[in-house]
């Protein structure tokens, strides 16, 4: 679910334009990697049992607030498998006057309607006032009636017709919409295009749900889906399509990435167990890869790679996150070593041969992938 996730490159968190640099305005916690589903496109190590410590996360939330960050979201794994985390963090964030973005969820984690109702009620009482970002596509399975139950119950508990937003992942925005259509049918809703929002809406008498498309990056378990080298170069967005974010994973590691490479060690810019927000932002700006992505863009990284070795990339890709994950795992980007992403069992030797690796002073705490 990770690309916020499953999460993705939706830009609903505009970053004030000054000089280009890493300037996070958004905080997201993945309290757990674990999930009740095993989607074939998942880029999250859902088999890892780590969970974020609530007290440590609360301390970091306070620090983020003091730093000036005001928007909060949750991702996973499946965030609702760790509801006490959602409730505790939401309660504190509501007190601090954070604006809630969304909780990315598969919407089918509940045992029965009572369980669903009680969990959402606890969240509402804690002061959560954001959206529930429901992933609806073939990768998440066909459980349309459970998804409809989730939507109606959320509407009833939160008393907001826009409490649920939908997202689907596919290679092309024109593909993979069928399960959204099926859900609309189940809810007695119609699908309309909004010129204002530049996206589709699913509208019923009870619900108004925006539909967001996530450009699926075939990485990790989905590497075999292929077709990412589509011959077109991505349009530069300085990784601000997803927004400027501090994403905290269940190990406490902080990444600037809510996309598909968020579990690569190469993107670690700190750890909430040991570092302050100010330390992490400072380190991100100096980071040989992260600093450059936010300052000069992914195109600068692409140009450097191709100038060094015109044959280093198989073709062009329009998918930012796929490019990012590819060059990081293959060690093509200057200043960071390759590796990681072994679920797809990539091999090959094309190291970052022309520049020195830079010690950026982060602890490598994650266990190697099996
Ligand atoms: S819902 Fe699917 S994509 Fe999301 S974390 Fe679970 S297995 Fe991964
Ligand atoms: S471009 Fe890279 S750092 Fe940015 S969201 Fe995508 S995978 Fe993450």
Taking a C-beta distance cutoff of 8 angstroms, is the pair 225, 190 a contact?
Answer: no
Tens-place pLDDT, residues 43-81: 788 888 899 999 999 999 999 999 999 999 999 999 999
Ligand having the closest approach to the CA of 291 = 2
Ligand 2 binding residues, C-beta < 6 A: 239, 242, 256-261, 320-321, 324-325
**Cα 60 to Cα 47: distance, rounded to the nearest angstrom:** 25
Mean pLDDT for all residues in the chain? 85
SS3 for 72? strand
Residue identifier of the C-alpha nearest atom 6 of ligand 2 = 321
**What's the predicted TM-score (pTM) here?**
0.87
Instruction: Tell me the Cα Rg of the chain.
Output: 20
Check residue 259 and give left, alpha or beta (phi > 0: left; psi -120 to 50: alpha): beta
Ligand 2 atom at minimal distance to the Cα of residue 261 = 7
Which of 216, 236, 333, 338 lies closest to 294 in space, CA to CA? Answer: 236
Q: Give distance in angstroms: CA of 245 to centre of ligand 2.
A: 11
The whole-angstrom separation of Cα 289 and Cα 323 is 13
Query: Exposure pattern of 103-120 as b/e (b: 16+ CB <10 Å)?
Result: bbbbbbbbeeeeebbebb
User: Which atom of ligand 1 is nearest to 33's Cα?
Assistant: 5
The Cα 353–Cα 347 span in angstroms is 16
Residue 129 CA to ligand 1 centre (angstroms): 23
pLDDT band with cut points at 50, 70 and 90 for residue 17: low
Q: What is the mean pLDDT of residues 12-23?
A: 70
Provide the pLDDT for residue 6. Answer: 38
Kindly report which listed range (110-124, 170-184, 267-281, 342-356) carries the lowest average pLDDT score.
342-356
Q: Give pLDDT tens digits for 359-369.
A: 333 433 333 33
345, with CB counted inside 10 A (0-12, 13-18, 19+), is exposed
Helix (H, G, I), strand (E, B) or coil at 362: coil
pLDDT score at 287 = 95
Q: What integer is the mean pLDDT of 215-237?
A: 81
* pLDDT tens digit sequence for 190-200: 999 999 988 99
Ligand 1: nearest atom to the Cα of 38? 7
pLDDT 10s digits, 271-323? 999 999 999 999 999 999 999 999 999 999 999 999 999 999 999 999 998 99
């Amino acid at each position: 679910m990770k690309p916020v996730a499953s999460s993705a490159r939706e830009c609903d968190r505009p970053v004030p334009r000054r000089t280009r640099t890493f300037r996070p305005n958004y905080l997201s916690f993945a309290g757990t990697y674990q999930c009740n589903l095993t989607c074939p496109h998942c880029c999250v190590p859902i088999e890892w049992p780590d969970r974020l410590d609530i007290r440590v996360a609360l301390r970091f939330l306070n620090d983020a607030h003091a730093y000036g960050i005001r928007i909060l979201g949750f991702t996973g794994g499946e965030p609702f498998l760790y509801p006490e985390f959602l409730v505790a963090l939401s309660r504190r964030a509501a007190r601090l006057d954070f604006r809630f973005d969304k909780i990315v969820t598969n919407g089918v984690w509940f045992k029965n309607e009572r369980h669903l109702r009680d969990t959402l009620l606890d969240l509402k009482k804690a002061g959560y006032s954001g959206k529930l970002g429901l992933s609806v596509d073939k990768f998440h399975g066909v459980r349309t009636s459970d998804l409809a139950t989730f939507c109606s119950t959320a509407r009833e508990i939160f008393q907001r017709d826009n409490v649920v937003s939908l997202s689907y992942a596919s290679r092309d925005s024109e593909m993979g919409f069928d399960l959204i259509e099926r859900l609309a049918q189940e809810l007695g809703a119609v699908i309309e295009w909004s010129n204002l929002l530049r996206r589709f809406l699913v509208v019923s008498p009870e619900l108004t749900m925006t539909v967001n498309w996530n450009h699926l990056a075939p990485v990790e378990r989905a590497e075999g889906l292929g077709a990412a080298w589509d011959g077109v170069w991505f349009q530069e967005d300085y990784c601000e399509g997803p927004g400027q974010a501090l994403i905290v994973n269940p190990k406490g590691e902080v990444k600037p990435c809510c996309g598909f490479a968020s579990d690569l060690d190469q993107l670690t810019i700190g750890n909430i167990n040991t570092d302050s927000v100010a330390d992490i932002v400072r380190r991100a700006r100096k980071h040989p890869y992260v600093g450059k992505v936010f300052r000069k863009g992914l195109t600068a990284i692409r140009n450097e790679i191709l100038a060094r070795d015109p044959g280093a990339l198989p073709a062009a890709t329009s998918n930012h996150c796929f490019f990012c994950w590819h060059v990081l795992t293959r060690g093509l980007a200057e200043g960071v070593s390759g590796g990681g992403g072994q679920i797809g069992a990539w091999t090959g030797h094309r190291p970052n041969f022309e520049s020195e690796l830079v010690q950026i002073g982060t602890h490598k705490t994650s266990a190697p992938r099996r």
